[in-house]
Amino acid sequence: MHSIGERLEEARKRKGITVREASEATKIRGEYLNNFEANSFKMNLPDIYVRGFLRSYANYLKVNSDKVITDYNAHLIGEGKSSRRDAREFLGRLELQEQPLVAEGAQNPGSVEDRAIESTSETSESIPIWERFNIEQGVAIKIGIVAGLALILIIAVIWGFLTFMESSDPAPDTNLTETPAVIAPEANAAAFTLIANDDVRVEIKQVEGNIPLFFAVLPAGQEKELSASGSVRIHYSDANALSIRIGSKTYKMQTDRSSIRITPANILKQQKAGN
């Protein structure tokens, strides 16, 4: 069975394109595509981005993206099992035991004195981790406390940064710039359609719960119909390359920012009230 990387590389070569050309078409960095084809997925990126890039690349190459993501999940599980096995082997090598000592001046070289046997039985007991690394117990406890406090501080800083970033970018529904009306089929109360005027990377999250709803690179001319409950935040790589259709109207993205918050159900109600 071919690996994920082998399937992607074969599909790209069948299309007769280079990694650079694929990168320009998908708006994904070439080094990420090379890593995918090498079956390497450790790229210092959040897992949601790795999955999104992998799915977009598979779709671009006309490879079954659902099968690729399934194999990627299996790859992650296999790596987890391998890491646990390596850890057990490492800890097993740390077990220290003293070999029996032959008593000096013994008549029979093969005999062992009683005190040597007692010493052997005592050293077979498990040795505390701090003694194995020649560290005093009190120092080991202090190191553990400091490491725990540092981890808590890092988590608090990251949480505060994310909270600040999210609080600064939402824009009210009325800030959308309307383009000429486009007649669309009757939509449900929370339906909306993304329209790619040019190649654009789009990420959508539901505001309540910060739940990811959609992430992909949309090629020029493609439309993607979605639905959401409540407000959503739309992040885009190029404001001019993306429009959104809600009900019977199409709106442009804000050019002075990289994301916008909307509530499709509220916009539909406003449209109906205006009629």
Long-range contacts of 74-78 (CB under 8 A, 24+ apart): 75/4, 75/39, 75/41, 76/41
Q: At what angle do helices 47-60 and 30-37 cross, to 10 degrees?
A: 80
Helices (H), the chain: 4-15, 19-26, 30-37, 47-60, 65-93, 114-123, 129-132, 137-168, 264-274
* pLDDT for the residue numbered 15: 92
* pLDDT for the residue numbered 110: 45
What SS3 state is found at 47? helix
* pLDDT for the residue numbered 274: 81
* pLDDT for the residue numbered 60: 95
Reply yes or no on whether the pLDDT at 263 is more than 50: yes
Question: Looking at residues 60-89, what average pLDDT do you find?
Answer: 80
How does residue 66 score in pLDDT terms, banded at 50, 70 and 90?
Answer: very high
Reply yes or no on whether the pLDDT at 142 is more than 70: yes
* pLDDT for the residue numbered 272: 85
Indicate the pTM of the whole model.
Answer: 0.34
* pLDDT for the residue numbered 75: 87
Assigned token pair, 186: 């009757």
Decide which of 96 and 258 is more confident. Answer: 258
What percent of the chain has a predicted confidence (pLDDT) above 90? 46
Decide which of 42 and 32 is more confident. Answer: 32
Pairing label, strands 200-206, 232-236: antiparallel
* pLDDT for the residue numbered 121: 41
How does residue 108 score in pLDDT terms, banded at 50, 70 and 90?
Answer: very low
Question: Looking at residues 52-74, what average pLDDT do you find?
Answer: 93
Assigned token pair, 137: 């117990």
* pLDDT for the residue numbered 83: 60
Distance between CA atoms of residues 28 and 106, nearest Å: 76
